[in-house]
Amino acid sequence: MAYFDNNATTRPCEVALAAHSEALSEDWRNPSAPSSAAARVRVKLDLAREKLAACLGVSPGTVSFTSGATESNNAVFSHISRHASPHSRVLLSPVEHPSVREAASRYFSGRVDELPADGSGIVDPSTLAPALDATQVALVSVMAANNETGVIQSWDEIAGICRAHGVPFHSDATQWLGKLPSSKFDACDYLSASAHKFGGLKGVGILKASTEVSFIVGGEQESGRRAGTENYPGVAAMLAALEEADSFGETPTLEQARNAFEESLRASIPGIEVLGKNVPRLWNVSALLMPRFDNLRWVGKLEKIGHEVSTGSACATGKDGPSHVSAAMGLSPEQARRVVRVSGSRETTPAEWSGLADAFRLAYAELQADSSSSEVVSI
């Protein structure tokens, strides 16, 4: 099966599996235990924190290990709400992940505003300063890159504007890390990420917080910020994966293979559209608005012919209504149900991208044949 759903999760990379296995067999002790063997695990955990902080360009004292981006995002809003004025508001891009949107609504009920965005879902940084001047803002949260479309936000420019206004800035960098250079995140006061999106394992993530946060109580782990026995093997795997991903640097050939796939589809499937085609996007994603057929039918048909792809998001499957990202990009609910997302990885070869284009053409032919035969039957 050719795997094209890397924005949902990546296959753990070899270096991560090796680091995990070594830590599980050698460094399995509780880092808080008093033995000298446990102290060695504690030292390794802190060394991993320093190295991860170096990858992100941030100070090690600001990095906490969490169970993933969902926890990190929730922690940010819960922490800010405890310290913010009860009248202050939070500003979000309209295309944030549900773990940002719903955390914002829970902790700032009735005090959440969406920043205006263009037809690609991109927040125009010039709209921010007037919004910050007009109201008391406790936090601005704009993701680095979108999970459904790969569209990149000007998060660094937005961070600078927030800093100039003395307003904390959070970025959910879950889809950015491991795909683009990660060393400039000192510009963000808060940052969230998940290891399994860049070759690490599920259940491990990062929260960078430039202020003292305490979000899970009941122990002194993580300097009292997040209670609970630390998952050193998971952290070791995350570090190995991020260091490896960063070592690849920029790889224009990956983007060329994805672009060739899109061109090939546009030439052979009339009416297909690529969301975010003309704006900066991650090199691994194509969000395709198909001319016909619900995305679940595409996903099922492509899987039968050996290709694992996804809908725009789990919310766009028709079950829970259309995705808020598609809506923010001006798609109707009916169009949103025709969005298919494919997401490759560094390991995806040009031949696999071209095989995927062939699979789409075959799937389209079969879907058209299925629908015309069902039309005949229904007559």
Binding interface with ligand PMP (CB under 6 A): 68-70, 97, 99, 143, 147, 172, 174-175, 194, 196
Residue (41 or 91) nearer to ligand PMP, CB:
91
Residue 239 carries which side chain, given as an amino acid letter?
L
Nearest distance in Å: CB 134, ligand PMP: 28
Considering only CA atoms, give the Rg of the chain: 22
Q: Looking at the chain, how many residues does it have?
A: 379
Nearest distance in Å: CB 148, ligand PMP: 8
Place of tokens 């599996």: 17
Structure tokens at 81: 């709400």
Residue (206 or 357) nearer to ligand PMP, CB:
206
Nearest distance in Å: CB 311, ligand PMP: 13
159 contacts 123 by C-beta, under 8 angstroms: no
Nearest distance in Å: CB 299, ligand PMP: 17
Nearest distance in Å: CB 19, ligand PMP: 19
Residue (172 or 189) nearer to ligand PMP, CB:
172
Residue 252 has a CB neighbour count (10 Å cut-off) of 9
Residue (153 or 348) nearer to ligand PMP, CB:
153
CA distance 341 to 84: 38
Nearest distance in Å: CB 93, ligand PMP: 11
Residue (192 or 265) nearer to ligand PMP, CB:
192
CA distance 247 to 268: 37
Residue (10 or 99) nearer to ligand PMP, CB:
99
Told to judge if 188 belongs to the known catalytic residues of this protein, a careful annotator would answer no
Structure tokens at 161: 């504007």
Q: Edge-to-edge strand order for the sheet containing 339-343?
A: 273-274, 285-289, 339-343, 310-311
Q: Out of 13, 55, 188, 315, which one is annotated catalytic?
A: 315
Residues tagged active-site: 315
